[in-house]
Chain A
Amino acid sequence: MAAEGDDLWQALARTGESVATDEDYEHGYKQREVRRDLRHYVAFKVGAETYGLPIAEIEEITKIFPTTFVPRTADFLLGIGNVRGRIIPVVELSRRLGLGSPGYGRSARVLIVTLDDEPYGLLVHEVLEVVRIPPEAMEERPGGISGRRADYIRGLGRHRGEIIILLNLAEVLDARDFVKMVDDRGAP
């Protein structure tokens, strides 16, 4: 029996697999599950702040493309553009997040994201990198931020000492906010 057990250890060592140790049993495999939870985020700059979105929510990243102004829509909607035959509404994230509209330079990009199977473009100032944030480096939304802006934030992540604001796409792209009320038609 013992020999058999030794063989198993050796075999596992050769293939690089690891076997649960006594400590693992004590933690009920907790650590492993945590490892799987490690998420990839795309970090990008809007104004001076760093934001992040789960990589799975981002379809592609493109340079700025021409958009067509759509009347009677909210200010944060830059317009609609055409990405490979699909009509995509492009949102200026800085306006949506209440950060005004600082100018865009050569590093500006459009993140094409999907929400409920529909594509949207998010105009940002710069795309930084893909970061891995372990759950222990995640923070619930701090109580200090309140009001509508707080709804846009899913949580805060820390990466190399910097705070990354993780966005809640469903709130940022809430369809109810896109269309202006028509009662004041005639007013720009």
Chain B
Amino acid sequence: MDPSSTEFIGEAQESVETFSRHLLELERQARSGSPDPEVLNAAFRAVHSLKGLAGLFNAVEVGTIAHAVEGTLDRLRLGRLDLSKIVLDVLFEAVEFFGHLLIPRGDEDAPDLLGLLERIEGLSRAPAEAAEETSLEWLGEAILSVLSEYEEHRLRENLRKGRSLYRVHASFDILAIDVGIEQLKEKMKAYGEVITYLPSADSTSDDRIDLDIILGSDLSFGDISAALTEPDVAVHRLAAPGAETRSGGPPPPLPPPTPARAPEPVSIPVAPPPARASEPRPRERDRDRDREREFEGEGGGDQSLRSLSQTVRVDLRRLDVLMNLVGELGLIQANIGGVYESLRALDVGADVGRRLQAQLRDMARKLALLQQGILDVRMVPIGQVFDKLARVVRKLSRELNKEIRLVISGSDTVLDKLIVEELSDPLMHMIRNAIDHGIEDADQRSARNKAPAGRVDLRAYQKGNRVVIEVEDDGRGMDWRRIRDVGVRRGVVPPEDAETMSPSEALNLIFAPGFSTREEAGAVSGRGVGMDVVKTNIAKLSGMIDVHTELGRGTRFAITLPVTLAIIQALVIESAGHTFCIPLSSVLESIMVERREIGSIEGQPVITLRGKTLPLLELSRIFGLRPPRGHRLDPNRIYVVVVGLAQHRVGLVVDELLGQQDVVQKPLGKAIRNVPGIAGATELGANRTVLLLDVARLVDEGVRDINVTGHGSAAAMGGGHGR
């Protein structure tokens, strides 16, 4: 099979992302204490499945690195290697490497496979600090002989942390053993770490299976006993709290070594031979085999070929097709409704008519549900992007030598998959800017009484039918005067205009092409392409972006986005006899205006709306629309649709407002995809094709127009933004 197939890339990416997520989690844990072995195992599993996948698809490079990483993780699991910063760095490097391999980007240097491999292997050669090998003799040969290397390591770890070891003896009905074990395991997890399961010698009868479970816990014997003891479960202590163990002294002699196969006096009276050891534990110390088995086991279904996941991968384009069909069904339904109306006008079969009407209403409801269902399928949590950003933050914090605390909230907020994909680049630029330009160096921060670690917040939340994503830093904030001056130096603003510039206008300059406050292009955020690109990309998604900044306190960017792009609510308007749709997500309001209210600033028509000047764009003029013959208009009254995108507000002058409607956006073909001001097309019943306006582009043109016309109206723009 081909390693460039989408199937492989899709699945491999998922594994890599899982691995990366666990790695970030481990790093957090390592900082605050000790890493959770469960998370380490999960990371191991992710890499293990990646390795398997690579083998299946013959992706040699991915497989080689995955194998090396797997080895490293295994050593971490076994405590042969400490989870140091260096180790984490190399592992994160591997994550990046997988990314490059899976989606090669032409403009980058080919990743250095051998170099990375060497670094990974290097980790392994570096000896972990010699773990003091405390003797575990007192556990008894019966237990020791069946422990795998990993289990033995976990056992030592528990002792080292001063936990007590307990042997939990449980007896299960043979028919319900899987459920029983799972329940008990869940319960025990709350109190400590399950180290291993041992088949017990003392089974009561043929239809019961007994197990000894070794549990490490901070709790006292009394507490554990009270928590776990049930009719078929009994708790025994194996070792005293390991203070002595930690100091390296001799093992505590307190409880006499309890052989696992000793007669069990507590709950079960009879002891038939231990024939049915149904819980397979590898008895040999072959580490590799042990490892494989363990993970296959935890993956469930040792023998079954059935796949565990209940999910399917669906190409977004297929969903688009479905969505189109639903839209067309809606049109057909409207047509049937029309037929029904004409039937009713004929006044025949009133009874049949009523039944038809009832069915139609039913159909409308079901159609709405179907549409919602398809939309839901497209929804993915924004957390997918946040995880990637966490990696970026980590990398930047290293490169710039700034300690950064990333605080994420609202990862589960869902958005259309397409939007989530398109968001990752803009968000990355913003994060880079926040860390590179926003967050000060540690000494500067302490001089200002701030915590030495910079804080970057990444928030997502739903607000009505839109989603707001915020990137906030507690850095130095932006000085609008400085931005204005840089703007003048860069030639973005004519010097004579600078005098009269308002703070919000000056802030808007950061979105201008070619603007950067850094004198030298930094390796990280480069020179002034960032925010320009951000603005364009956000506008493409019918989103708006707002900046809020406080000097010395930090900056907050807020992106407001529609939840989905597939179905959009549109305002249907008419201009010079032509019908158009405007995405409602970019419409702020629509108002009726008398012609005499229209003023003019240096030739640019404007109106005053709530004390602020709003520049007007006449749709028929910018599109060169000629009204059809016999087209009549009220000469005194016009409608103004106030649209806003990114940080600008403009009024579109139209002839009529025809109402609101949910429409399915359809792409235009390659030939006319790039018509400026047109975003797509849609259908409005009766097979009528209507164009959907690209508000971002129109606003942009309007703003350009105004900037050319003169500065007076540019002030009006700024006024529109300042809130």
Contact = CB atoms under 8 A, between A and B. Distances in A.
Interface string A146-188: 0000000000000000000000000001010011001001111
A107 interface: no
A179 B681 contact: no
A71 interface: yes
Interface string B684-723: 0001111100000000010000000000000000000000
B489 interface: no
Contacts of B672: 70, 73, 77, 80, 89, 178-179
Nearest to A188: B624
Contacts of B669: 87-89, 118-120
Contact of A187 (B324, B328, B624): B624
B670 interface: yes
A85 B328 contact: yes
Contacts of B678: 70-72
A186 B622 contact: yes
Contacts of A85: 324-325, 328
A120 B672 CA distance: 11
Nearest to A82: B689
Nearest to B624: A188
A161 B682 CA distance: 47
A179 B670 CA distance: 11
B467 to A, nearest CB: 28
A69 B676 contact: no
Q: How large is the interface on A (under 10, 10 to 19, 20 to 34, 35 or more residues)?
A: 20 to 34
A3 B588 CA distance: 93
A68 B690 contact: yes
A87 B670 contact: no
B677 A72 contact: yes
A5 interface: no
A96 to B, nearest CB: 12
B625 A71 contact: yes
A71 B668 contact: no
A85 B672 CA distance: 17
Nearest to B678: A70
Given A68-B690, A82-B689, A185-B701, A87 B671 contact: no
Contacts of B546: none
A86 B670 CA distance: 13
Max chain B Cβ within 10 angstroms of own Cβ: one of A71, A119, A120: A71
Contacts of B667: 87
Contacts of B185: none
Contacts of A81: 689
B417 to A, nearest CB: 22
Given A70-B675, A71-B678, A81-B689, A188 B324 contact: no
Contacts of B532: none
Given A116-B670, A178-B671, 16 more contacts: A66-B687, A68-B690, A68-B691, A69-B578, A70-B672, A72-B624, A72-B676, A72-B677, A73-B675, A82-B683, A118-B670, A119-B669, A173-B671, A178-B672, A178-B675, A182-B676
Interface of A: 66-73, 77, 80-82, 85-89, 116, 118-120, 173, 175, 178-179, 182, 185-188
17 contacts: A68-B690, A70-B678, A71-B623, A71-B624, A72-B623, A72-B676, A73-B672, A80-B681, A85-B328, A87-B668, A87-B689, A175-B670, A182-B676, A185-B701, A186-B622, A186-B624, A187-B624
Interface of B: 324-325, 328, 578, 621-626, 666-672, 674-678, 681, 683, 687-691, 701
